[in-house]
Amino acid sequence: MTESRIFGRYEIQRLLGKGGMASVYLAHDPRFDRQVAIKVLPRQFLHDPIFHERFHREARTIARLEHDAIVPVYDFGEHQGQPYLVMRYMPAGSLADRLDNGAMPLPTIAPILKRLADALDYSHSQGVIHRDLKPSNILFDNQENAFLSDFGIAKLAESMATLTGDAIVGTPAYMSPEQVQGGQALDGRSDIYTLGVILFQMLTGEMPFKADTPVQQLMAHVLTPVPHVLEFRQDLPPQCEAVIAQAMAKDRDDRYSTAARLAAVVESLVRPETGLPPSVATRVTPPKAPAPAESLATVLAEEPEEWAAAVAEETAVPPPSPASAVIDAPPTPAAGEAKPIDQRRSPLAPTYMAEPLFGEPDPPPAKQQRMSPWLWVGAAGLLILGLVAVWALTRSPDDGGMTAGEGGVLPTEGDPSAILGNYIQAMWLDGYDVTSLAYEPGRWGVVMSDGVGYGRQSWYISSESPLAEIEKNWNRGWEVTELAYGDGHWVVIFSEDAGLGRQLWSLSSESPKAYIETQWTNGYDVTSLAYGDGAWAVVMSEDSALGRQLWSLASESPQAYIQAQWAKGYDVTSLAYGAGAWAVVMSEDSNLGQQNWSRASESPLVFMQTQWANDNDVTTVSYGDNSWAVIVSGEANWGRQLWHTAAQFTAEP
């Protein structure tokens, strides 16, 4: 096409760019007196009725996408046998142009990523998958706002590939593993993987996988572990490792469920006020669980109760609060209004807050290539030969464990300088809930689960009694779901949707047995138990439906007692150590299924990994008498779980 040519009503001014399946021209639209960009597709396919119908269908779909971060389509049609799309002209170039200068700073990356993520989530909600994200498809206006372009073009390319006999269409440097492998319907998580590749590029100025041929490039997405971003750029926050690992997980079930979750984590690294800390510990693509722990179960015997001298007791029984009396409850979105992603998991007024993860840059994009059938056959052969390599790559025993049957995010033993509260907040953004919390002198340990359905959570930490904060959250409609004491502080986890009903709190230096037995007769169950600062803390709930409960306190291991009650159909639902004794609460109707017990002085991670591989969930973790005690259950159905440790809960003294 020559310059200054009339194309329909549009006056072609110059060629802007040329790709594998289309050319883009700058043109003038005299009807509206504005500049536009015209994407012209090859004319040789228009005679085919299948392509003709698909072109019009995809063009209408693209034109219906109305979002302030998607390049709008003004018009489409055919001119002298050539199909075309008319779009807004974006004068400030593409992300590919910016990446020619190398890595980008995090404060620059975050707003770009947020706009792209919002646009992707919107298009996914409309049933449109981009399929060919890359820096050259990310354009900027004169105000430096980022826009996504070329929605639906990849699906048209598939039609053209079918007609020409080419096997696949796409840009090998940015294709998700499931695009490479084929055989399954794509969904929005494919675009999230590609967004992770682009994020890696923005953070480092490099591509994550380098290869000499397109086939090698494709196989790298399937077989090669995600590289460590900090090896490319040491000044990045360490959380960037975890973010990239999850965004680019080989198994799409292990990726962020929405692009907005990914963008929120990035933004929180740049803006501490968003409530996520820059010292969240690293996560990596998870390997399979290693061999079982050395000592997995049985320990000693039951004991009588032994108690410290009495000090003071505080008991709180909040009055029932009707729905109309909820104070400062988070606003309920109007019908049809989407919830903001970061609001759903934002922490609720903890004493100290922290922040989360990341940043990354991006090099020039690889040119779009279409592969011949013979190259694709070769790629398939490499894929088959690589299956053994994949298995080997995912079995490194040093990398941690995962949940049975699921990819999972890698559990870690933690960086001594890391802040546990930061890690928890980062995982909240990814849909996990705190289900166990414990303290060993020198480090905190947490288990988080993505299938318990507790809703929004928040944490509170204080060296004083947490009663006032507990009452405040009860008035908000939140419930205590986890309680721990360590490093001179009480830590309370509140959940919005746990469904535990009205709760009671007791803190006493004496045995809580009498208090517990009294409240049992009133229809309450023990749901949280901890010992700290010389006192036992108990939370009891009215609607937990745990059935009949038993209580035991013994200076020896509770193993024998637990096993005896297992035989009677009871499950361990609370476990704590204090004043030289183990306290156990067992419940008749918890429906947790068969349970196992482990107590060992070493890290419980290997035991957890072994149990996850056997489809068991960690339901209780405690530390006492120089050992970790772990209860796993066969029918908890708490989803994927994570274990993480860190030296401090907050950065504050």
Which residues are marked as active site?
132
Q: How many CB atoms within 10 Å of residue 548?
A: 12
102: alpha, beta or left? (left if phi > 0; alpha if psi -120 to 50): left
Find tokens 């004319």 and name the residue: 43
Question: Tell me, what amino acid is at 168?
Answer: I
SS3 597: strand
Per DSSP, what are the bridge partners of residue 539?
505, 528
CA–CA gap between residue 427 and residue 275 (Å, rounded): 12
CA–CA gap between residue 377 and residue 385 (Å, rounded): 13
Q: Which strands sit side by side in the sheet containing 313-316, from one edge to the other?
A: 313-316, 503-508, 535-541, 525-532
Q: How many CB atoms within 10 Å of residue 598?
A: 24
How close are the terminal C-alpha atoms of the chain, in Å?
70
CA–CA gap between residue 1 and residue 283 (Å, rounded): 51
SS3 446: strand
C-alpha distances in Å from residue 26, one per residue of 90, 91, 145, 159, 172: 10, 10, 20, 26, 28
Find tokens 């401090």 and name the residue: 648
Q: What are the tokens at 326? A: 């909820």
CA atoms within 13 A on the CB side of 378: 11
Find tokens 């760019």 and name the residue: 17
Question: What single string gives the DSSP state of each residue in 519-560?
Answer: HHHTT-EEEEEEEETTEEEEEEESS----SEEEEEESS-SHH
Contact 357, 239 (CB under 8 A): yes
Contact 588, 520 (CB under 8 A): no
Contact 16, 89 (CB under 8 A): no
CA–CA gap between residue 466 and residue 455 (Å, rounded): 21
Alpha helices in 34-88 (DSSP H): 49-64
Q: 276: exposed, middle or buried (C-beta count within 10 Å: 0-12, 13-18, 19+)?
A: buried
Q: How many CB atoms within 10 Å of residue 625?
A: 14
Per DSSP, what are the bridge partners of residue 596?
632
Helix/strand/coil percentages in the chain, nearest 5: 30, 25, 45
Find tokens 């722990």 and name the residue: 293
SS3 65: coil
Comparing CA positions, the residue from 461, 452, 459 lying closest to residue 499 is 452
Comparing CA positions, the residue from 565, 556, 624, 585 lying closest to residue 306 is 556
Comparing CA positions, the residue from 447, 137, 105, 413 lying closest to residue 266 is 105
Alpha helices in 146-238 (DSSP H): 153-164, 177-181, 188-204, 214-223
Find tokens 């509260």 and name the residue: 421
Comparing CA positions, the residue from 188, 73, 72 lying closest to residue 127 is 188
